[in-house]
Amino acid sequence: MDPLELLITNDFLRVLDLLGVFIMGVAAGALASRLNFDAVGFAVIGVAAGLGGGLVRDLILGYGTPAAFDGPWYLTCALGGAGFSFLISTDGSWWRRIVTVLDITAMGLWAATGTAKSFVHGLDVLPAILLGITSAVGGGVIRDVLVGRIPAIFGGGPLYATGALLTAVLTWAVFALGLDAPWVLLAVAVGSLLAGLAAWRRWSLPAHREWQVTMSAAQMKAMVRRVRRDERSRVARHTGAIPVVDASVDDLAEDVLASDAGAQEYVQRAFPEDPGSAAAPDAGEDLVEGEEPGR
């Protein structure tokens, strides 16, 4: 038995798969309830959330009839989950915990199944891993797009996509190393555990602004000059010696002897005006926050 056969034929895993579809329908229904959707809205968003990832996967693979439409069970579970939220409030904290745990477990299973199907159909490593991630989180993305909000996996939410990525990579390792089929369950467990810990500890990936360099070239050069000067002073204090500076090879040597009274004097020395440097005054203005031009 290969890993894919285990994932799609094992009765327990099939029940877990259907339960995940139901839970996605419940979560989508809870969102529809907050947005005051009618019954049609509940049904559409429940089906999209519960079956969207698998539909995209099977359509890309040319799998024939998508698994979501191969029998009544998947549609029944998705609609049943949405109908459950339509009739019963699921906004309680304990409801959210149950939904999160089951959703994360199903996410790991879907990532492994999507990756395994992709390998069996001859996809290379990277496309197979990406399609495994799509299987796991695609339904949630489609749900969020339908209601006009930024998909949760794009930042600020639990590391579902990261957990799915880990499961997909480990599933690829099971195939690449020729391991026995049960090892794929370890891949599911590890990815789900990462996503669960992230949800519990409120971990998140670094945001764009945390890594973006916002300093201009002039400000960066000024910072380097200050750091070099401070480092020379520190060495002199600890060693009792004055570092030897050769102005012919060190273009920042003048900072050692300079004693600027203020930022403006530093700018005038560091960026002297000449016919080829018309932008020098602007660089100085950037360094003095809150100072009016011309002072």
What one-letter code names the amino acid at 62? Answer: G
> Does some domain include residue 294?
no
Domain assignment present for residue 268? The answer is yes
Is the pLDDT assigned to residue 172 strictly greater than 90? yes
User: Which of residues 183, 210, 237 is at a domain's end?
Assistant: 210
261 vs 3 pLDDT, higher one = 3
**To the nearest whole number, what is the mean pLDDT of the chain?**
83
Tens of pLDDT, residue by residue over 24-60, are: 999 999 999 999 999 999 999 999 999 999 999 999 9
CA-to-CA distance for 255 and 248, rounded, in angstroms?
Answer: 14
The residue ranking higher by pLDDT, 243 or 99, is 99
Q: Is 9 helix (H, G, I), strand (E, B) or coil?
A: helix
Annotate 204-222 with b (16+ C-beta within 10 A) or e (fewer).
eeeeeeeeeeeeeebeeeb
Domain boundary among 157, 192, 210: 210
Please indicate, yes or no, if residue 162 is contained in any of the structural domains.
yes
Q: Could you tell me the pLDDT band of residue 250, with boundaries at 50, 70 and 90?
A: low
pLDDT at 143: 94
Written as six digits, the tokens of 231 are 């480092």
Residue 204 pLDDT: 83
Within this chain, do residues 187 and 271 fall inside the same structural domain, yes or no? Answer: no
The residue among 191, 210, 229 that closes a domain is 210
Q: What is the pLDDT of residues 186-202, one digit of tens each?
A: 999 999 999 999 988 88
Structure tokens at 76: 């029944």
Query: 284 falls in which pLDDT band (50, 70, 90)?
Result: very low
> Structurally, how many domains does the chain consist of?
2
Q: 12 and 124: one domain?
A: yes
Closest C-alpha among 117, 142, 166 to residue 44: 142
Section 104-118 average pLDDT: 94
Residue 14 belongs to some domain of the structure = yes
Segments forming the whole domain that contains residue 92: 3-210
Amino acid letter, residue 207? A
Q: Do 140 and 277 have their domain in common?
A: no
Alpha helices, DSSP H, located in 147-182: 160-177
122-126 own/partner pairs: CB under 8 Å, 24+ apart: 123/61, 125/172
Grade residue 293 by pLDDT with cuts at 50, 70 and 90: very low
At 125, the pLDDT band (50, 70, 90 cuts) reads very high
